[in-house]
Amino acid sequence: MTPTAPTLRDQATQQAELLERWLADLSALTLNAPPERVAVVCVDLIEGFTRQGPLASPRVAAIIPRVTGLIRSLLDAGVPAGNVVLVQDSHPGDAREFAAYPPHCVVGTPQAEAVAELQAFPEFGRFRHFQKNSIASHTSPEFRAWLEERGAEFDAVIAVGDVTDLCLYTLALHLVTDGMARQLGRTVVVPEPCAQTWDAPGHPGDLYHALFLHQLERNGVRVVSGVRLG
């Protein structure tokens, strides 16, 4: 008797179970790299994705203390403040992206500002700040120039922020593929607790969060339960 091919529903169930096991088995990573050769890039941890506006999400807001805690620990371990990079949505009022998403994070509005917890860092003024007008950080000319200039200096780049399946995904994927293309020995790390996406109709947050993190790992990103310097 010919075996019945798995249905799409069967495959989806199997994949969901695989993702649950994979997330549960993530381990922590200790980076044995000099602090000056470690960078952290935080994407879109801003008011418009956490507390204000049509794309604000309590799921995303929940990662604020985890991200700020990680950044604080890295700074205390000796990572220079100039190695902390914030890439943030800052759209013109007529942004083409608004054909796909509701108007959000318009330049000059509170939605486009870093969350207060980031602004409270004494080192905030020494962080590197870049604006973008799409989901992809590498479309920011200033961020792209920074990565071109300084990317070879880092043994590890830690990517954090939101949302997992859009802005964080394109950021981490670009960081790893840029390193591959330039033959750099650069590790790209995403700590799972420091990333998150939203829930929306047709977009179950838990599924998309796990699925896109898994896809990042399949493409060479280290997805971990936590990270610290050795």
- How confident is the model at residue 6, as a pLDDT? 79
Phi, psi of 130 (to 5 degrees): -130, 145
Cβ atoms of 48 and 55 closer than 8 Å:
yes
Cβ atoms of 83 and 153 closer than 8 Å:
no
**Residue 149 burial (CB count, 10 A):** 9
Cβ atoms of 70 and 160 closer than 8 Å:
yes
pLDDT in tens, 173-209: 999 999 999 999 999 999 999 999 999 999 999 999 9
Tokens, residue 152: 């070879």
Mean pLDDT, the chain, integer: 96
Cβ atoms of 224 and 160 closer than 8 Å:
no
pLDDT in tens, 71-128: 999 999 999 999 999 999 999 999 999 999 999 999 999 999 999 999 999 999 999 9
Q: What domains lie within the chain, and their CATH numbers?
A: 36-229 (3.40.50.850)
Cβ atoms of 81 and 36 closer than 8 Å:
no
* Stretch 61-79: mean pLDDT: 98
Residue 8 pLDDT class (50, 70, 90 cuts): confident
Residue 225 pLDDT class (50, 70, 90 cuts): very high
Place of tokens 């992206």: 97
The number of angstroms, rounded, from the C-alpha of 189 to the middle of its chain's C-alpha atoms is 10
H/E segment holding residue 13: helix 8-24
User: Using CA atoms, how far apart are residues 219 and 130, in angstroms rounded to an integer?
Assistant: 25
Q: What is the dihedral of CA 78, 154, 133, 90, to 10 degrees?
A: 10
Cβ atoms of 102 and 54 closer than 8 Å:
yes
Considering only residues 5 and 22, tell me which one the structure prediction assigns the higher pLDDT.
Answer: 22
Tokens, residue 160: 């954090």
User: Using CA atoms, how far apart are residues 82 and 40, in angstroms rounded to an integer?
Assistant: 10
Q: What is the dihedral of CA 177, 182, 183, 188, to 10 degrees?
A: -40
pLDDT in tens, 9-23: 888 888 889 999 999
Residues 6 or more apart whose CB falls under 8 angstroms from that of 11 comprise: none
Whether the predicted pLDDT of 2 surpasses 70: no
User: Using CA atoms, how far apart are residues 64 and 107, in angstroms rounded to an integer?
Assistant: 22
Q: Which amino acid is at 13?
A: T
